[in-house]
Amino acid sequence: MATTEAAEKVVQFPKAERRNSSTERIWGSAVLSHGYTGIPSILIQGQQRLGVNALQMNILIQLLDYWRDPERKSFPTKKQIAERIGVTEKTIHNNVRLLGDAGLVQREMRKNTFG
């Protein structure tokens, strides 16, 4: 009897309707199905103050895109970035070095395993 009385006092709330994220509302689910990389506004707004040229900004965006996908190694090669942007590996090397010198990226030595 006590169980019935307690059940009668329970208020049923309607189930919340799933709302699309603000990103999905802006870009749509078709675009998001290919992945989405957020770029911090402070980076965009501070580009000139940070001394980041257009190519270096593109490199940073490419690195962010690799970082967001857990299925992909987050450390692309210079060749991969160069092919995406349409420049030479040497151009990527020089600009990544400058970004590193400015403290905006940290380079790590790759270790190859043979066998």
Structural domain spans, the chain: 40-107
The predicted model scores a pTM of 0.72
On the question of pLDDT at 113 being above 60, the answer is no
- Give the tens place of pLDDT for each residue, 10-28: 878 788 787 888 888 888 8
Structure confidence at residue 115 (pLDDT): 47
Q: Calculate the alpha carbon distances from 3 to 7, 13, 81 in Å.
A: 6, 20, 65
Architecture of domain 40-107: Orthogonal Bundle (1.10)
Structure confidence at residue 23 (pLDDT): 84
Instruction: Give CA angle at 36 (72, 94), nearest 5°.
Output: 60
- Give the tens place of pLDDT for each residue, 26-84: 888 898 888 888 899 999 999 999 999 999 999 999 999 887 766 766 688 999 999 99
